[in-house]
A and B are shown apart, each in its own frame.
Chain A
Amino acid sequence: MTAQGKVILETHGLTKRFGGLVAVDHVDFKLEEGELRAIIGPNGAGKSTFLNLISGRLKPTEGKVIFKGEDITGLPCHEITRKGIALSLQLVNIFPELTDFENIWIGAQMRFKHRNPFVKAETLAPIRAKVEEICKMVGLYDKMDEVASNLSHGDQKLLDIGIALSTEPSLLLLDEPLAGLSRKEFAELTEVIRELSKSKTIILIEHNIDAVLKLARKITVLDRGKVIAEGSPVEISENVKVQEVYLGRRR
């Protein structure tokens, strides 16, 4: 286990309204470094919106997002990425016409400073090494030369997470990474996430309870934009409110 106790991310009264709809409603949230936190909740609970607010894709209506002690509320998403938060969206979001290698290269070169307009990108050896390392990490090393749009859905998801990793995040936001995968892909990706959780702080939105119980030590439950429970898997499954709102409704 990594050193814990230090808060890496907190939100204070984070709120997002779309017209009359309150998608995220005064959420106070704390995440410790090295944690793998699962966020669960019924459809429309505001889970994805919550991640979008943290990553800067959406601007909060009210409230604050504090990352490593710094207020990042309302910054554009490319700046938030540079500060070390990477988001992998629910739908596969890659560079379809490029190879896996190039896909990951794009993110990997972001941290490198030399932007001499006449350097051939291919000659930058440190980036190349990093791309290879990430390809190994997500299990795409043998497919580096393949064009991303030709990959299976599961591999595209792995690539998506690879792109997120290539920006060297200290906090990784995964929005339903396991949705729509085959049994084999599911197992592969679960393993990748477990492996990643040893070195990174992760927020995981997931509908699949088995995966959540396998991966996370702490779970936050959202319903209608509000946090209704937080705790260990056992606490959550025994929580009456959660059973009513979430497990009950699922039946």
Chain B
Amino acid sequence: MAKYRLKPTLSGCMLATAVVILVAVGPLLPASLRSLLIDIMIFSIYAMAFDILFGYSNQFSYGQATFFGLGAYGILLPVLHAGVNLWTGILIALVLCVIFGLGLGFLSVRLGGAYFVIITIIFNMVFYLLALSWTWLTGGDDGLTFTVPPATIGPLSFSLYNPVVNYYFALVFFVASYVVLRRFVASPIGKILIAIRENEERASLVGYNVFRYKLLAFVISALFTGLAGALYAIRTRYASADYFSIILSGEAIVWAIIGGSGTLIGPIIGVAIINPIIYYVGVFWRHYLIIIGLLLILVLRFSTKGIVGVVKSRLAGRRAR
């Protein structure tokens, strides 16, 4: 009798353990490490969002920072000018990203391969240059600071200026995003996206509207990228044109390639490796990017599926023996 299953996912136990550890160590961590972990969690949401696009539906976007910046300004501007509360601000940021995701996706998703890469770069550059030049709106290069409203849950109110609160705040969104996206890629729609990644023509020949599903992936990716942008604006109490930086778009690609795309967990590992390098080496050595470049070459030397890909194939090899 054949044993069969759809592709296994990271076991729930491992996730639960990781969450318990992250929850437990929160107050105990030294301030600098806690700060680093917050960054890693926020950028992990961005990395997972990029993975939905690149790893699960084979759309290589080089302009994902567009939505990071939109998310950041999407919360900053309403809070700054209209004094909305935190949750409303986040909601506005997300709605904004969905709207722009639909619009930009509609224009770009039909284009395959290199054309898609180019058009996403162009979108990214347009938004970046607009953010730079519309200083009345964005503050341009100098950016804008804002006072982060407290996170209120019923009668309770938490100040996000408290680093421990900020840590748990990021943790909640990080875990929620992971769980939601994990369920999403394991759902029937997730299977359709994987089918499109594997063979677009065949997917349309079994009755799926490829354009619609690719657009869906694009919008969901925009949504979660925007969430990461909003959280980062909250964390830094600031946003500038740099939040639209194309370098940020490129970072998502590096995370995915080093960690392993199409796995969700891979890009998180990518962030967890790259960000400490920037954080600890970057402060005293200006050319820290050399390390990241070498790392990229090293990983690609072994597998195009990143660290997770290497581990998976080793495990599969051992099981087969």
Chain A: residues with CB nearer than 8 A to chain B?
55, 57, 76-79, 81-82, 86-87, 89, 93-99, 101-102, 105-107, 109-110, 112, 114-122, 124, 141-145, 163-164, 166-167
Q: What B residues does A107 contact at CB under 8 A?
A: 206-207
- CB contacts (< 8 Å) of A78 on chain B: these are 204-205, 207-210
**Set of chain A residues within 8 Å of B24, measured between Cβ atoms:** none
A–B pairs, 9, beta carbons within 8 Å: A57-B205, A81-B207, A95-B198, A96-B199, A98-B198, A105-B6, A110-B207, A122-B186, A164-B206
Please measure, in the bound complex, the distance between the C-alpha atom of A98 and the C-alpha atom of B189, giving whole angstroms. 16
Q: Is B30 an interface residue (CB 8 A)?
A: no
A109 to B199, CA, bound (A): 17
A166: B residues at CB distance < 8 A: 206
Annotate B174-191 by CB proximity to A: 1 below 8 A, 0 otherwise. Answer: 000000000110111111
Q: Which residues of A contact B3 (CB under 8 A)?
A: 145
Known: A101-B6, A145-B2, A164-B205. 14 other contacts (CB 8 A): A55-B205, A78-B208, A79-B207, A81-B205, A87-B205, A98-B195, A98-B198, A102-B7, A106-B192, A109-B191, A114-B188, A115-B187, A115-B188, A122-B5
By a beta-carbon cutoff of 8 Å, the part of chain B in contact with chain A is 2-7, 183-184, 186-192, 194-195, 198-199, 201-210
Q: Would B207 and A121 count as touching, CB distance under 8 A?
A: no
Measured in the bound complex, the distance between the Cα atoms of B201 and A94 in whole Å is 9
A142 to B2, CA, bound (A): 5
Which 5 pairs across A and B sit closest by C-beta, in order of nearness?
A: A81-B207, A95-B198, A107-B206, A144-B4, A106-B195
Are B2 and A143 interface neighbours, CB within 8 A? Answer: yes
With A117-B184, A122-B6, A142-B2 given, is the CB distance from A98 to B194 under 8 Å?
Answer: yes
Evaluate contact between A120 and B202: CB separation under 8 angstroms: no
Given contacts A95-B198, A121-B6, contact A163 B187 (CB under 8 A): no
The reply to whether B202 and A95 contact each other, CB–CB distance below 8 Å, is: yes
B2 touches A93 (CB 8 A): no
A77 and B198 form a contact (CB under 8 A): no
- Docked pose: A98 CA to B206 CA in angstroms: 15
B210 to chain A: closest CB distance in Å? Answer: 7
Set of chain A residues within 8 Å of B184, measured between Cβ atoms: 117-118
A125 to B210, CA, bound (A): 25
Distance, CA A101 to CA B58, complexed state (A):
22
Complex contacts, B202 vs chain A, CB 8 Å: 93-95, 163
Q: How far is the CA of A144 from the CA of B199 in the complex (A)?
A: 19
Task: For residue B209, give the distance in angstroms from its CB to the closest CB of chain A.
Answer: 5
Instruction: Report Cα–Cα, A117/B190, bound state, in Å.
Output: 8
A145/B4 in contact, CB under 8 A: yes
Contacting residues, chain B, for A117 (C-beta < 8 A): 183-184, 187, 189
Contact A121 B190 (CB under 8 A): yes
- CA A40 – CA B275 in complex, angstroms? 62
CA A11 to CA B5, docked complex, whole Å: 42
For B209, the closest partner residue in chain A by CB is A78
Please give, as numbers and ranges, the residues of chain A lying within 8 Å of B186 by CB-CB distance. 120-122
Collect the chain B residues with CB atoms within 8 Å of residue A101's CB.
4-6
Chain B residues with Cβ below 8 Å from A95 are 194-195, 198-199, 202
User: Chain A residue with minimal CB distance to B192?
Assistant: A106
State how many angstroms separate the Cβ of A119 from the closest Cβ of chain B.
Answer: 6
Expressed in whole angstroms, the minimum distance between the Cβ of B17 and any Cβ of chain A is 21
Give complex CA distance A141, B189 in Å: 25
Residues of B contacting A102 with CB < 8 Å?
6-7, 191, 194
- Within the complex, what minimum Cβ distance (angstroms) separates B305 from chain A? 10
Residues in B with CB closer than 8 Å to A118 are 183-184, 187
Chain A residue with the shortest CB-CB distance to B208 = A78
A76 vs B186: C-alpha distance when bound (angstroms): 27
> Min CB distance, A173 to chain B, in Å?
10
A78–B191 Cα gap in the complex (Å)? 16
Give bound CA distance, A164 to B184, whole Å: 26
For residue B198, which residues in chain A have a CB less than 8 angstroms away from its CB?
95-98
The residue on B at minimum CB distance from A120 is B186
CA distance A79 to B6 in the complex (A): 27
Chain A residue with Cβ nearest B3: A145
**Contact in complex: B2, A120 (CB < 8 Å):** no
Check A124–B205 contact: CB distance below 8 A. no
**Is there an interface contact between B207 and A93, defined as CB atoms closer than 8 Å?**
no
Min distance, Cβ A130 to any Cβ of chain B, angstroms? 13
Which of A78, A79, A124: most chain B Cβ within 10 A?
A78
What residues on A are CB-neighbors of B5 within 8 Å? Answer: 101, 122, 145
Q: How far is the CB of B37 from chain A (nearest CB, A)?
A: 28
Closest to B202 in A: A93
Closest A residue to B186 by beta carbon equals: A120
Expressed in whole angstroms, the minimum distance between the Cβ of B319 and any Cβ of chain A is: 12
A121 to B192, CA, bound (A): 11
Does A121 contact B191, Cβ atoms closer than 8 Å?
A: yes
Select from chain A the residue with minimum beta-carbon distance to B195: A106
Contact call A93/B188, Cβ cutoff below 8 A:
no
Using CB atoms, name the residue of chain A closest to B179: A118
When distances are taken between beta carbons in the complex, the residues of chain B under 8 Å from A164 are 205-206
